[in-house]
């Protein structure tokens, strides 16, 4: 009897979403950030080839997502019409090509009468559109928020509008990952997990690390007056917005920090590494936003770092959270400057630590074990503070430039990837790699820290240091509501 009870407790879903998808944050590519409305079937197929040939699919990027601008009105029968100039073979054909290459296919619509680029929206046509997506073998729907006819302003109103599509997708019987894009409005972080696999928590990202912009005036997603999330949101703005609600992410449903800007050109290499690290640590979906037909070696070796991706795909599914913030540091010409320390639990008792330097100069940063494990017990009461830890630098083993260049120039064919120590998550899922202590997921050991000790580092301006701590003595068991999946 007792064992039956325990079983049913463990087996009960920890998320209201029950479509079995996004057990770890979804990964893939989306055209919007670099190409906007310039979409076509050739773009999707060419991009999928690059994802495959560069090994990016193998490290986890398996959803190819088409954003706005693909339709051509609605027929008198109520069904949406595909733009035949951009997609002459139709969507089912596209899905088939992608599936044949080992990808899943994502599409876009809006919970409004129009999409944001003023194409046909799905509001009040949810059933027909869900049927179309399912009949085209689509695996993912990004669902936007423009032209909603005023049906927002109160959480339940937005919930109901998005719930219609969730039910319509469910009714098709096809598992379709449901990704809300309502920019954090109406406290979506409090209800998104009931109906969706992910929910955007901010206005649109732009290719800047910290530049403030009037179009992205809100800085706190939990502020009730933050009703105009806008666009032109910097990486730092989005990090600060999500900080108060990172605990809402859970397996099956994730805070979405928006698509990656890595490789678009507006940030330095260190800024892109910081952007990627924070998205990974906060368990955001990782959707590459760059035009991969122009993929550079430098961009590849950020996006393909398995030690960082393993943090994002960690089976525990717990976001890191901010344990320290210092605003009393050098400011840039916009008056922006701060440092932050983030920490969070990882699979098998490991711990993540990030020093984020958004000050306008290089900084010495440090954190004691008491601070790092504050969530396991404040004021040094956590059992972990009594242990010794190996410190692994998760960026120290970034792929070298020559190898990355050889790959983007097709100097290394896929079958030879093993020679360059490639991590292939389709053969060795991250959960298994972590359990086995696969070295590629640990970066490089740089030292140890024990009771009373601290981690210290010089962090360049607009950069992160990202560490995994692994217990020397075997670790402390953590209770997790996610236990059944570990």
DSSP 32: H
**Bridge pairing between strands 254-256 and 321-326:** unpaired
Nearer to ligand GLA by Cβ, of 204 and 350: the residue is: 204
Site string (456-485) toward ligand GLA, x via CB under 6 A: ------------------------------
Question: Could you tell me the smallest distance in angstroms from the CB atom of residue 37 to ligand GLA?
Answer: 8
Site string (135-154) toward ligand GLA, x via CB under 6 A: ---------x----------
Question: Could you tell me the smallest distance in angstroms from the CB atom of residue 443 to ligand GLA?
Answer: 32
Question: Could you tell me the smallest distance in angstroms from the CB atom of residue 32 to ligand GLA?
Answer: 5
Contacting range for ligand GLA; rule: CB under 6 A; set: 109-117, 127-135, 184-192, 380-388: 109-117
Question: Could you tell me the smallest distance in angstroms from the CB atom of residue 117 to ligand GLA?
Answer: 4
Exposed / middle / buried, residue 2 (Cβ in 10 Å: 0-12, 13-18, 19+): exposed
Among 115, 277, 301, 384, binds ligand GLA (CB under 6 A): 115
C-alpha radius of gyration, the chain, whole number: 22
Q: What part of residues 68-97 is at the interface with ligand GLA (CB under 6 A)?
A: 68
Helix then strand then coil, in percent of the chain rounded to 5, is 35, 20, 45
Site string (292-331) toward ligand GLA, x via CB under 6 A: ----------------------------------------
Whether 204 is catalytic: yes
Question: Could you tell me the smallest distance in angstroms from the CB atom of residue 163 to ligand GLA?
Answer: 20
88/479 Cα distance (integer angstroms): 53
259/42 Cα distance (integer angstroms): 21
Nearer to ligand GLA by Cβ, of 111 and 431: the residue is: 111
Q: For residue 177, count other CB atoms closer than 10 A to its CB.
A: 25
Question: 468 is written with which tokens?
Answer: 């995994």
Contacting range for ligand GLA; rule: CB under 6 A; set: 91-99, 113-121, 169-177, 340-348: 113-121
Spatial contact of 261 and 275, defined as CB atoms under 8 Å apart: yes
Nearer to ligand GLA by Cβ, of 39 and 407: the residue is: 39
Whether 144 is catalytic: yes
Contacts of 478 (CB under 8 A, 6+ apart): 345, 349, 376
Per CB under 6 A, 261 contacts ligand GLA: no
Question: Could you tell me the smallest distance in angstroms from the CB atom of residue 204 to ligand GLA?
Answer: 5
Question: Could you tell me the smallest distance in angstroms from the CB atom of residue 39 to ligand GLA?
Answer: 11
Contacting range for ligand GLA; rule: CB under 6 A; set: 111-119, 124-132, 280-288, 335-343: 111-119
According to DSSP, the residues that pair with 467 across neighbouring strands are 353, 393
Exposed / middle / buried, residue 100 (Cβ in 10 Å: 0-12, 13-18, 19+): exposed
Given 144, 207, 291, 360, the catalytic residue: 144
DSSP 337: -
Nearer to ligand GLA by Cβ, of 200 and 322: the residue is: 200
- Write out the E strands in 260-381: 286-288, 321-326, 339-345, 351-357, 363-368
116/287 Cα distance (integer angstroms): 19
Question: Could you tell me the smallest distance in angstroms from the CB atom of residue 85 to ligand GLA?
Answer: 19
Site string (30-69) toward ligand GLA, x via CB under 6 A: --x----------------------------------xx-
Give Cα 85 distance to the centre of its chain: 32
307/315 Cα distance (integer angstroms): 14
- Which of 479, 483, 432, 345 is closest to 14 using CA atoms? 483
Among 52, 117, 215, 264, binds ligand GLA (CB under 6 A): 117
Question: 235 is written with which tokens?
Answer: 């990486």
Contacting range for ligand GLA; rule: CB under 6 A; set: 84-92, 112-120, 274-282, 333-341: 112-120
- Which of 2, 94, 110 is closest to 47 using CA atoms? 94
403/412 Cα distance (integer angstroms): 8
In the bound state, the residue with its beta carbon closest to ligand GLA is: 116
146-169 core/surface letters (b: 16 or more CB in 10 A; e: else): bbbeeebeeeeebbebbbbbbebb
Per CB under 6 A, 181 contacts ligand GLA: yes
Nearer to ligand GLA by Cβ, of 140 and 373: the residue is: 140
Given 67, 139, 204, 314, the catalytic residue: 204
Among 51, 65, 82, 116, binds ligand GLA (CB under 6 A): 116
The catalytic site residues sit at 144, 204
Tell me which residues touch ligand GLA (CB under 6 A).
Answer: 32, 67-68, 115-117, 144, 181, 204
């Amino acid at each position: 009897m007792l064992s039956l009870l325990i079983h049913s407790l463990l087996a009960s879903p920890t998320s209201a979403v029950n479509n079995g998808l996004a057990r770890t944050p979804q990964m893939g590519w989306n055209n919007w950030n670099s190409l906007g409305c310039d979409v076509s079937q050739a773009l999707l197929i060419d991009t999928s080839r690059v994802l495959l040939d560069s090994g990016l699919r193998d490290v986890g990027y398996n959803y190819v997502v088409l954003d706005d601008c693909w339709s051509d009105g609605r027929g008198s029968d109520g069904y949406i019409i595909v733009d035949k100039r951009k997609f002459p073979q139709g969507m089912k054909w596209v899905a088939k090509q992608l599936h044949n290459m080992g990808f899943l296919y994502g599409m876009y619509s809006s919970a409004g009468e129009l999409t944001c680029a003023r194409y046909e929206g799905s509001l009040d046509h949810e059933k027909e559109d869900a049927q179309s997506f399912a009949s085209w073998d689509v695996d993912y729907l990004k669902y936007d928020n423009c032209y909603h006819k005023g049906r927002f302003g109160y959480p339940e109103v937005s919930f109901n509008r998005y719930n219609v599509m969730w039910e319509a997708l469910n009714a098709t019987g096809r598992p379709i990952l449901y990704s809300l894009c309502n920019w954090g409005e109406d406290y979506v972080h409090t209800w998104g997990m009931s109906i969706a696999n992910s929910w955007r928590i901010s206005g649109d990202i732009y290719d800047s690390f910290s530049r403030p912009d009037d179009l992205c005036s809100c800085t706190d997603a939990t502020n009730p007056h933050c009703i105009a999330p806008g666009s032109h949101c910097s990486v730092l703005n989005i990090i600060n917005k999500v900080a108060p609600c990172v605990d809402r992410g859970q397996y099956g449903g994730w805070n979405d920090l928006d698509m990656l800007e890595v490789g678009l050109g507006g940030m330095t290499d260190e800024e892109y590494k910081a952007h990627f690290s924070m998205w990974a640590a906060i368990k955001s979906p990782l959707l590459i936003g760059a035009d991969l037909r122009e993929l550079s070696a430098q961009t590849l070796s950020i996006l393909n770092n398995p030690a960082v991706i393993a943090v994002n795909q960690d089976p525990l599914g717990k976001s890191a959270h901010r344990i320290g913030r210092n605003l009393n540091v050098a400011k840039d010409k916009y008056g922006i400057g701060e440092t932050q320390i983030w920490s969070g639990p990882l699979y098998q008792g490991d711990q993540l630590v990030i020093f984020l330097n958004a000050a306008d100069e290089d900084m010495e940063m440090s954190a004691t074990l008491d601070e790092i494990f504050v969530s396991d017990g404040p004021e040094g009461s956590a059992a972990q503070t009594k242990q010794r830890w190996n410190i692994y630098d998760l960026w120290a083993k970034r792929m070298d430039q020559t190898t990355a260049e050889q790959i983007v120039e097709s100097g290394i064919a896929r079958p030879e990837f093993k020679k360059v120590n490639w991590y292939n998550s389709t053969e060795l899922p991250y959960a298994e790699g972590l359990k086995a202590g696969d070295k590629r997921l640990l970066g490089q050991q740089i030292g140890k820290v024990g009771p009373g000790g601290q981690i210290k580092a010089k962090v360049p301006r607009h950069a992160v240091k990202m560490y995994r701590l692994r217990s020397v003595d075997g670790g402390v068991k953590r209770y997790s509501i996610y236990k059944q999946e570990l």
